[in-house]
Amino acid sequence: FRAIGSRRVLVHGDGPLAGTVRDEVARACARFGGSLCDGGEADLVLATSDHLPAHARAVLYGEEAGETGAAPGGDEAFPTGRRDRMTGTPDGDENFLVGRRGGVTVVAGEGAGLLYGLFHVVRLGERAFGADFPAERHRPAMRRRMLDHWDNVDVHPVMGQVERGYAGGSIFWADGGPRGDLDRVRAYGRLLAAAGVNAVAVNNVNVHATEARLLTDRLGDVAALAGALRPYGIRVHLSVTFAAPVVLGGLSTADPLDEDVRAWWAGATARVYEAIPDFGGYLVKADSEGQPGPFAYGRSHADGANLLAGALAPYGGVVHWRAFVYDHRQDWRDRSTDRARAAYDHFAPLDGEFAGNAILQVKHGPIDFQVREPVSPVIAAMPRTRLAVELQVTQEYTGQQRHVCYLAPMWREVLGFEPWGPGGRTVAGVAGELVAVSNAGDDPYWTGHPLAQANLYAFGRLAWDPGLGPAEILDEWIGLTFPDTADRLREPLHAIMNGSWETYERYTAPLGVGFMVRPGHHYGPDVDGYEYTPWGTYHFADRDGVGVDRTRATGTGCTGQYPEPWSEVYESAERCPDELLLFFHHVPYGHVLHSGKTVIQHIYDTHFAGAEEVAELRPVWDGLVGLVDPALHARVRELLDEQLRSAREWRDQINTYFFRKSGVPDAHGRRIH
Ligand code: GCW
């Protein structure tokens, strides 16, 4: 905020969001010596288009008006130009223009755009005030950029306050009730707005007894959160149980086609909107891992989703309906059931049946947030359904915020993937919105591992603009997080973080096979931990080979769920990309990859390399003493030690396991236990 807070700034606009912008600027000026002025010459003008002062109109309609063109560094395949050099009115409440006419001028559609414009100038810092800074128009690629909190109100006996949370307790809830610290909720809203997030689901998709009541007698707690987040342009959504008419309403059924059930949802929803007029909508995990759903009544998931969509429609709300539906009571002996197929098998036949305000929320991969998966085939299969792609910012399967694992490179790959082949539409182009499971909690650094903040930030930025590069986003984050020492931190932090996802992949489950984590908490290696369980996550390693045969020819047929060319590429063990080979094929250990290595030698090499890469991080981090806060430095140092311990454990368990299975020694004679 120094670049803004040290200048003369004018803010024009009405309403709560403009008020937030004014407060932010006033606070920055008090800190850095600038002033929030009422008129006259200013270094920075922030105005909504209906409040545009005469001199700022030139930015819109003046010399810059002729310039049009694609974003510098932008990618045609991505849906919007974040930096289109064009002018016009910023049509859309979140859109804004930045340009120069004397001072820097930000013109926004409405208050939300003003807020995003402010944070954009913060990001740019002094660069925004340079004479040669070009006029730009910014607008989000995704209309909704949403975080799902898996937070429980009651402390769950197994999952704790936050399911799969690695950053302390919930920001919203504590010990069975609201946490009550709305200052912290406001600070969180500010953090999210700075990253571009505009929607939050405030409770776990596994809705237990107390949490179910957030919809009814505990609605006031949700309204309080909505009030705290509203000034930062964030709408609140609620996870609800499909059984609510029974468990809360005392009805004998939750059948989506039952008239009383419809009436119950209509009434409950009317009361929600009375309390929270800008309520976002419902989020539902149905018929999944024990949650109730429409199957109990012989109804389809379109029937279920449309029931809630109907209740929400009069108020402009939406229902996010999760596609994470599979049989978690599978018999491991049954080779015909394939969890990777499940979402497509359940939902693709329903394309076209969902209401216009029902959004099918699809995990990015077919299984469950593994370090490497193909893109979910559902994304290409439902052209007549609104889709949201779900990412996991919380690092359940990627080191649980004890390991450095910068996930933007993975997400960028997912969003840039072309389901219909090179040159076709991208996942980002197909998905109307992006959702992620949150990684924040009441930890002083928000995210447990201080460097995991970069994942939260990157999620918001990629949802705004999927064309941004991971390194570019990381650069922004470094600048914003360590404003005084960023210049000296950039190189070492890029060295630690840029390749950390691939490093994590190297020392964990190989070649897309997935899981191999310790059942239950999912941290650390346990190669056969899930092999004979009902969860459907198997690797089928034996003395001859490893991997899951998902081909049409001899396996589960999952490859047939993809359009061409991928259906053909994945079907063929020769053409399948190395990193997904064991996701789609069961191959002998001697199978030669495109890399020229055998599968077994690849396993040994990547596991030795991955653990070595982790060993190199600590000295780099040690060199940063004095450049970051000492407590933060110490926290990361401890975590890096744990990461190294864990990476070595992974290396040794995986290498030993496959050596024992295959009997094939390491070509380089390294130590395998
Ligand atoms: O990955 C699994 C997690 C569950 C989670 C589930 C889901 C909320 O292990 O903890 O439940 O995914 O996405 O619903």
Residue 558: give its domain's CATH number: 3.90.1330.10
- CA distances for 453 relative to 195, 444, 562, 610, 627, angstroms: 11, 11, 34, 23, 18
Is the pLDDT at 75 greater than 90? The verdict is no
CA distance 313 to 518: 43
- The last residue of a domain, from among 138, 154, 186: 138
CATH number of residue 95's parent domain: 3.30.379.10
Residue 363 Cα: closest atom of ligand 1: 13
Q: What share of the chain is helix, strand, coil (3-state, %, to 5)?
A: 40, 15, 45
Question: Does 411 fall in a domain?
Answer: yes
- pLDDT one-digit tens code per residue, 101-148: 778 999 999 999 999 999 999 999 999 998 888 889 999 999 999 999
**CA 324 – ligand 1 centroid, Å:** 9
pLDDT, tens digit (0-9, with 9 covering 90-100), for 253-272: 999 999 999 999 999 999 99
Residues with CB under 6 A from ligand 1: 150, 163-164, 205-206, 285, 324, 368-369, 396
For residues 9 and 366, give the distance between their C-alpha atoms in angstroms, rounded to a whole number. 49
Q: How far is the CA of 619 from the centre of ligand 1 (A)?
A: 36
666 vs 346: CA distance, rounded Å: 43
- 1 SS3 class: coil
- Which one is catalytic: 274, 289, 629, 638? 289
pLDDT at residue 399 is higher than 60:
yes
Same domain assignment for residues 276 and 406: yes
pLDDT of residue 307: 98
- Report if residue 542 sits inside a domain: yes
- Ligand 1 atom nearest to CA at 288: 14
Which atom in ligand 1 lies closest to the alpha carbon of residue 163?
10
Statement to judge: residues 402 and 436 lie in one domain: yes
Q: What pLDDT shows up at residue 434?
A: 98
Same domain for 449 and 381: yes
pLDDT for 91 equals: 63
Query: Nearest CA to 525 among 666, 617, 660, 399?
Result: 399
Distance 339 CA to ligand 1 centre (A): 14
Asked if residue 635 is part of any domain, the answer here is yes
User: Catalytic site residue 568?
Assistant: no
- Of 147, 161, 164, 370, which is best to mutate to test ligand 1, by the most ligand atoms within 8 angstroms of its C-beta? 164
In a domain, 129, yes or no: yes
Q: Do 131 and 170 reside in the same domain of the chain?
A: no
Distance set, CA 183 to CA 223, 227, 340, 402, 442 (Å): 15, 11, 42, 27, 12
436 alpha carbon – ligand 1 mean position (Å)? 12
Q: How many domains does the chain have?
A: 3
- Does 449 share its domain with 509? no
Question: 369: CA distance to ligand 1 center in Å?
Answer: 9
Ligand 1: centre distance to CA 533 (Å): 16
493, 477 Cβ separation under 8 angstroms: no
Q: Which one of 151, 211, 390, 396 is the catalytic residue? A: 396
- Ligand 1, atom 2: closest residue by C-alpha: 368
Nearest alpha carbon, ligand 1 atom 13: 324
- Ligand 1: atom nearest CA of 437 is 13
Residue-wise pLDDT tens digits, 299-350:
999 999 999 999 999 999 999 999 999 999 999 999 999 999 999 999 999 9
**91 annotated active-site:** no
Give yes or no: 163 in active site: no
Strand, coil or helix: what is 278?
A: coil
Counting from 1 in the atom list of ligand 1, the atom nearest the Cα of 397 is 1
171: which 2 tokens? 């920001």
Q: Which pair of tokens denotes residue 24?
A: 């932010």
Question: Residue 198 contacts by C-beta under 8 Å, 6 or more apart in sequence?
Answer: 94, 112, 144, 145, 146, 233, 234, 235
What CATH number is given to the structural domain containing 355?
A: 3.20.20.80
CA 64 to centroid of ligand 1, rounded, Å: 50
Whole-angstrom Cα distance, residue 357 to residue 369?
A: 26
Residue that finishes a domain, picked among 122, 138, 154: 138
The reply to whether 271 falls in a domain is yes
Report the nearest atom of ligand 1 relative to the CA of 205.
8
In a domain, 486, yes or no: no
Mutation pick for ligand 1 pocket among 328, 392, 396 (CB with most ligand atoms within 8 Å): 396
In the predicted structure, residue 245 carries a pLDDT above the cut 50: yes
Residues 39 and 87 in one domain: yes
Q: Strand 44-48's sheet: what is its strand order? A: 35-37, 8-12, 44-48, 103-108, 96-101, 136-138
Longest distance between any two alpha carbons in the chain, whole Å: 80
**Centroid of ligand 1 to alpha carbon of 308 (angstroms):** 22
Separation between Cα atoms, residue 232 and residue 156, nearest integer Å: 30
Confidence at residue 50, expressed as pLDDT on a 0 to 100 scale: 84
Show which of 121, 138, 155 is a domain's final residue: 138
State the pLDDT at residue 83.
Answer: 47
Torsion from C-alpha of 559, 560, 566, 572, nearest 10 degrees: 50
Per cent of the chain over pLDDT 90 is 91
* pTM for this entry: 0.95
Strand partners, 146: 199, 435
Please tell me whether residues 202 and 296 are part of one structural domain.
yes
Pocket test for ligand 1, best of 289, 389, 435 (most atoms within 8 A of CB): 289
The residue whose CA is least distant from atom 11 of ligand 1 is: 206
Distance CA 363, CA 319 (A): 16
If you write DSSP's letter for every residue of 282-303 in order, what string do you get? EEE--SSTT---GGGGT--HHH
Mean of pLDDT over the chain = 94
Helix (H, G, I), strand (E, B) or coil at 536: coil
Residue to mutate (ligand 1; options 368, 395, 515; most atoms within 8 A of CB): 368
Q: Specify whether the CB–CB gap between 63 and 135 falls below 8 A.
A: no
Residue 89, pLDDT above cutoff 50: yes
Domain range for 390? 144-206+242-467
Tell whether the model's pLDDT for residue 54 goes beyond 70: no
Question: Has residue 233 been placed in a domain?
Answer: no
Q: 618 with 603, same domain? A: yes
Residue-wise pLDDT tens digits, 497-536: 999 999 999 999 999 999 999 999 999 999 999 999 999 9
ipTM higher than the 0.95 cut: yes
Report whether pLDDT(87) > 60.
Answer: no
The fraction of the chain above a pLDDT of 70, given in percent, is: 94
**Is there a contact between 199 and 144 (Cβ–Cβ < 8 Å)?**
yes
Do residue 408 and residue 304 come from a single domain? Answer: yes
Beta bridge partners of 437: 148, 392
Residues counted in the chain: 673
91-105, 452-466, 484-498, range with the lowest pLDDT:
91-105
Residue 152 Cα to ligand 1 midpoint, Å, equals 13
- Are 404 and 644 a contacting pair, CB within 8 Å? no
Point out the ligand 1 atom lying closest to the alpha carbon of residue 206: 8
Q: Within a domain: residue 222?
A: no
Shared domain check, 153 and 86? no
Nearest CA to ligand 1 atom 1: 368
- Burial bucket for residue 258 (CB in 10 Å: 0-12, 13-18, 19+): middle
**114 neighbors 96 (Cβ within 8 angstroms):** yes
* Distance spanning both ends of the chain, measured CA to CA: 53
Same domain flag for 125 and 165: no
Task: Calculate mean pLDDT across residues 149-178.
Answer: 97
Coil, strand or helix at 518: coil
Question: Does 486 have pLDDT greater than 80?
Answer: yes
Residues 153 and 131 in one domain: no
